Amino acid sequence: MALPAKKQFQFWGIFIVVFALMFWALGHVLLPFVLGGAIAYFLDPVADRLERSGFSRVAATALITLLGVLVFVVMVLAVVPTLIQQTIALVETLPQLSAQVRAFVASNFPSLQQPDSIMHQTLQQISGLLKERGGEFLQTALSSAASLLNVITLLVIAPVVAFYLLLDWDRMVAEVDKLLPRDHAPIVRRLASDIDKTLASFVRGMGTVCLILGTYYAVALMVVGLQFGLVVGFIAGLVTFIPYLGALIGGALAIGLALFQFWGDWLQVGLVGIVFAIGQMVEGNILTPKLVGKSVGLHPVWLLLALSVFGALFGFVGMLIAVPVAAAIGVLARFATGQYMSSKMYYGHSASPNESAQDAE
């Protein structure tokens, strides 16, 4: 005899609350496992394709791991030192950039430079803060990131977790399927499939788009001579997964730095703008339609809300799970809406679902 719906709701409600409390309390411990699971999920289609090509699961996982180690070594030796160097130089340049902004305002808007004006006091405070805290900001950010992410955890435990999860991914999915309640297994499978499609389109697709665009911006900006091109490309690529935000932040930062570096040389400033214009055209017309698709179901506002809420509740780990949870909630909300619109609660006594559908036709 199946459990009543009320009992099932209570059971799953208590389970979700207990799971959220455990995640909140142990988030820093679970970080390498969450990150390893995300890596395994991202690479599972690659392993499946290698299996279809004749590799065993072990051989496919080993090949992916070797390629991952190779890419990591190249990044550490060739990219990371330059990225850190440019970031430090950018932070050290901020006070000078603030001084140039003040000089520009003073020459073009002298009324704002009156000692008793709000704008003058604000610029003074910003300049003083940048001079005093510019170097400290980067050092604090790096030390906080090191303590939060735990370098040893990320470099050792997370890849090991990813390796074993990738190796056993299909078997784990099959085992979880066996544990589904038999009465609801078809619906759960359908919802899980919809969630997986949404995540596959967004996480894997947008991850690839971010990587391609970040690489393009970094290389193109360095080619046109922008001093901090690698940092700007990294930032623009990192936030590209939120539509329009990556171009807005990256473009504003790049053009601002170009004005600071190439003031008077409008050709160079224009080239920086052209780099971002080309990137946006390629992303909007080629990359996103091909790799992500049009019906992902994750609205930018919903995505920002999920990142903000889960980041505030669970820290960095919360930001890692924000996108999957947002995708799952979106799929469940659409399913619940469909169930409601085909129920008597929606139609009432006025008409049956079939009659209303015929009236709509």
In this prediction, residue 63 carries a pLDDT of: 92
- Which amino acid is residue 176, in one-letter code? V
Same domain, 39 and 164: yes
CA distance 210 to 73: 20
Tokens of 168: 């056993």
Count of CB atoms within 10 A of residue 149's CB?
17
Consecutive 10-residue runs of the chain (361 residues): their mean pLDDT? Answer: 66 79 74 83 88 90 90 75 70 66 62 59 59 51 50 74 89 86 83 83 78 86 82 79 70 78 78 85 78 62 78 74 81 83 73 53 50
In this prediction, residue 278 carries a pLDDT of: 86
CA distance 155 to 161: 11
In this prediction, residue 179 carries a pLDDT of: 83
184 domain residue, yes or no: no
- Which amino acid is residue 101, in one-letter code? V
In this prediction, residue 338 carries a pLDDT of: 83
Among candidate residues 294, 326, 356, the one where a domain is terminated = 294
In this prediction, residue 283 carries a pLDDT of: 79
Same domain, 60 and 161: yes
330 domain residue, yes or no: no
217 domain residue, yes or no: yes
**How many domains does one find in the chain?**
2
39 domain residue, yes or no: yes
Same domain, 90 and 142: yes
Task: Please answer whether residues 237 and 215 qualify as being in contact, where contact means their C-beta atoms are separated by less than 8 angstroms.
Answer: yes
187 domain residue, yes or no: no
In this prediction, residue 99 carries a pLDDT of: 67
Q: What is the dihedral of CA 178, 181, 185, 190, to 10 degrees?
A: -100
Q: Which domain holds residue 117?
A: 26-174
36 domain residue, yes or no: yes
Cut 0.95: pTM above it = no
Same domain, 59 and 129: yes
In this prediction, residue 353 carries a pLDDT of: 53
CA distance 37 to 189: 20
CA distance 215 to 221: 10
Same domain, 155 and 232: no
CA distance 253 to 238: 14
